[in-house]
Chain A
Amino acid sequence: EDKVVQSPLSLVVHEGDTVTLNCSYEVTNFRSLLWYKQEKKAPTFLFMLTSSGIEKKSGRLSSILDKKELFSILNITATQTGDSAVYLCAVKTTDSWGKLQFGAGTQVVVTP
């Protein structure tokens, strides 16, 4: 059975700290790994990773995939209160007809 595990489940940091979120997966026929940010409503797309070792970056957020060790990390530097959200990791396989297998998410709280 395919599995996507995120850690930690939750964390609280101060503004300005750096946060590292982890996502490990056990799936057959891996295609891609995606990161989403969910505040009170819809998950919003952050990154899609398909190749090992290539960092994707958007402002203070970055992510990288390790297909050998089957994990990805999402980094947020110089955190702001607006970064408070649940961060979701999801995996797509080649035989899943577009379905995303989601992890449980990591709740991040950034305090002023």
Chain B
Amino acid sequence: EAQVTQNPRYLITVTGKKLTVTCSQNMNHEYMSWYRQDPGLGLRQIYYSMNVEVTDKGDVPEGYKVSRKEKRNFPLILESPSPNQTSLYFCASSLRAENSPLHFGNGTRLTVT
């Protein structure tokens, strides 16, 4: 089944403890992206990747890192999480950046205490 898989689905952590949210897609998509969703602010892009080894900042990149060493994987790294990073995170992918729809993973609900 074609899908975008994120893990974990739920995560509770403490301020400052490094964490990684994994994302993998099995559709051979070139483009991958991370979004966060917050009440009243909607979905906002954190980082994106046009292809392997090509990544760039979205609208809200502060406090996050990403890497794209392989086409299928696009992990999101929080080096020193803070409470304002408590949010619902979605990984998404599309065949190309331009005229292809984004397909979203099932989300990771992160709580930072």
A interface residue numbers (CB < 8 A to B): 31-32, 34, 36, 41-45, 48, 50, 88, 90, 94, 97-100, 102-105
- With A31-B99, A99-B33, A100-B43 already in contact, the answer to whether A42 and B56 are too (CB < 8 A) is no
Q: Which stretch, B20-28, B73-81, B102-110, touches the partner chain A? A: B102-110
Interface residues of B in 43-64 (CB under 8 A from A): 43-45, 48, 50, 56, 58-59
* Option from B43, B44, B45, B107 in Cβ contact (under 8 Å) with A88: B43
16 A-B Cβ contacts within 8 A? Answer: A31-B98, A32-B99, A36-B104, A41-B107, A42-B4, A42-B104, A42-B106, A43-B43, A48-B101, A88-B42, A97-B50, A98-B48, A99-B48, A99-B59, A102-B42, A104-B40
Give B84-96 as 1s and 0s: 1 = Cβ < 8 Å from A's Cβ atoms. 0000001000101
Q: Which residues of B contact A41 (CB under 8 A)?
A: 106-107
Q: Which residues of A contact B40 (CB under 8 A)?
A: 104
B106 touches A50 (CB 8 A): no
- With A42-B107, A104-B42, A105-B42 already in contact, the answer to whether A98 and B101 are too (CB < 8 A) is no
